[in-house]
Amino acid sequence: MLFQRYRRGLFITAFLAAPVTLYLVYVISPYIQAFYIATTDWRGVSATPSFIGFENFTRLFSDGIFWKAVRHNAALLVLLPLLTIVIALFFAFLLNVGGGSGGREGVRGSKLYRVIFFFPQVLAVAVVAVLFQQVFRPDGSGMLNGPLMALGIEPIGFLSNPGVAFWSVLGVMVWQAVGFYVVLFSAGLASIPRDMFEAAQIDGAGRGSLFFRITLPLLWDTVQVAWVYLGILALDVFAIVWVMTDQHGGPDFSTTVMAAEIYRNAFSYFRFGYASALGVVMFFFTVGFAIISLRLSRRERIEY
């Protein structure tokens, strides 16, 4: 018996040795290095950077551009999950429960709609950014401004007006994310027994009651996971902002985010120590958000 346990433990250790080693080398090691580089003035060329302690962090918290980036990430952290989940839940409910006889089936053609909703997920983020650059063009060739100008309305600077650019970026992010969560919530809805919806309707429940009293409580675990993933996406957003916006986060830093400032400081200004300090702060923001979200949304599991 003891020998069998030893052999089992040896097999598990041998099986996990390679992936754990790769994880330590390519994931944990860069994190450790980033913490160290954040305490130096390394510019990416010197072999022995000078240790400067917490000077980078002191400069960081007095940097106005950093606080702009933090505000934008914080706004995305609230708005992106909220808007995406609300829209995705609405469409998933329609596709699975909101149509058919007595509201127990999805709307006609729901399978086709799922494919259409999911299509943006197939596109690379950089491709989406380039596409929406054309959609938001401020001249007659823009898909939005062209019809406005044809009607004699002044074109809107979707990416050139500091008051509008952030909302344009948010809209693109929601557009791209919704499809995946429609499919995710649809999978969750498919696991809910139809008998529960039928029994509720026999008792006189309308579609609003079906959603708030049955669908949402039974999908709560899925919604919780979606909120965490979307929050991490909001903190980690980079490609959309860097590719789509003027001046890579402009105009006048009105769309910049922490990831964009990390890249700018590292590869434009060659301030790798300062960029690493930004990365460390972003790491704690992300981990803190995940922990707080999971604790606040914790509830008893509903069995059915």
**CB neighbourhood size of 56 (10 A):** 23
In b/e form, how buried is each residue of 167-196, taking b as 16+ CB within 10 angstroms? ebbbebbbebbbbbbbbbbbebbeebeeee
Answer whether residue 37 is part of any domain: no
Phi and psi, residue 51, nearest 5°: -80, 125
Q: What is the pLDDT of residues 11-70, one digit of tens each?
A: 778 778 888 888 888 888 988 888 899 999 888 777 778 888 889 999 988 999 999 999
- Within a domain: 106: yes
Sequential DSSP letters for 36-104: HHTTB---SS-SSPPB-TTHHHHHHTT-HHHHHHHHHHHHHHHHHHHHHHHHHHHHHHHHHTSBSGGG-
Query: Is 303 a domain residue?
Result: no
Strand partners, 99: 105
CA-nearest of 59, 67, 58 to 253 is: 67
Is 30 a domain residue? no
Could you tell me the two tokens for 203?
A: 């008792």
CATH code, domain with 241: 1.10.3720.10
- Tens-place pLDDT, residues 111-141: 777 778 888 888 888 899 999 988 888 887 7
Total number of domains constituting the chain:
1
pTM: 0.82
Q: Nearest Cα to 188, choosing from 142, 224, 147?
A: 224
Name the token pair of 189: 């809805």
- Give the model confidence (pLDDT) of 169-228 as tens digits: 999 999 999 989 988 888 887 777 676 666 666 656 666 666 767 777 778 888 888 888
- The answer to whether residue 301 is domain-embedded is no
Structural domain containing residue 191 = 62-268+275-296
Inside any domain, residue 195: yes
